[in-house]
Structure 1
Amino acid sequence: MKFQNFKVIGPALIQPKLIGDDRGYFMEAFKDGWFRENIDDVTFVQDNQSMSAQVGTIRGLHYQTAPFGQGKLVRCLKGAIFDVAVDIRKGSATFGQWIGATLTATGAEQLWVPDGFAHGFCTLEPNTEVFYKVTNPYSRDHDAGLAFDDPAIGIEWPVDLAKAILSDKDRVQPKLETLA
């Protein structure tokens, strides 16, 4: 596996090695020792999966508050997404800054989103399936989010935001300024 870091310290883009032939491919999608040595020393406790039927579906920006903050290792099983992490660590030199990466089923890329970041994605293909490992279980009482279109963050989503498909919850998330 290879990985690259971003200008915002914490997230990492991971590229597993695909071993392929005319039958298809094989890859090691996750290896605990390698991940701990190269990315972050965390334990994953839950796996989640979502399917979004329509292109332009935006899910996020989501995070959980302490003591249930979650790190997420995200990959696309079918289709493609533009995946985003926003630094919400108070006191961080990059607070409010975001990184983004395109994850595809064919490319097998994975994005590590550590605790202290809000996470979201938009679908680039129909019937997109996303799988992610998390470092803490879901807690309704610690569920939180930010507005996906907050100009203070300035995410450059690769879809028409006027036509974006959102949950009722994601339409009314607060702005970044509520965290300052």
Structure 2
Amino acid sequence: MASTKRRKARGGDGDRSVLDLAHYVPYFLTAISNTWSRSSSRLYLDLFGVGVTEWRVISQLAIEPQIAAQRICEVIGLDKGAVSRSVAALVAAGHVAENGDARDARRQVLELTASGYALHDRLIAVALQRERLILADFSPDEVAQLTALLRRIHRRLPELRGFRPDDEAPAPGARR
């Protein structure tokens, strides 16, 4: 499971460890995620006039109606600015309504309008087709296993957010 390999450095200052991308899990997660997001955004813009971030907001509002924008940020892991811009665009397009929270008058909650639900239903059909495409080479058992493994990685995200390297193993180029 080695994620590094030794390589002779150019410029003659010895050999060093470099990432072995064929075995470095973050490389695959990043490459898959970036390609998925960019291609989804392009397709959804062409077909529906919304990007992938708007789709994520719409999707979360269909799952959890009447939630605050902060909740969307927590669930989908996007920064407040991206969610705020997407919500503003969706409100302007008439797909999302902002209402006062019945439990807390200081807070705004979001919900899909009738046109938002109609857009959701069209988008989800395409999203599920794309999921079937990317998983086409897997058996149902393999999909279940992959999903279970991804859930285990996902559970580590809070630790990852707070990670700092140990003092005895500084990051390359880090100052002591």
TM-score where L is the length of structure 2: 0.20
Query: Structure 1 or 2: larger helix share?
Result: 2
Higher relative contact order (CA 8 A, sep 6+): 1
Query: Structure 1 or 2: larger strand share?
Result: 1
Instruction: Please say which structure displays the higher CA radius of gyration.
Output: 2
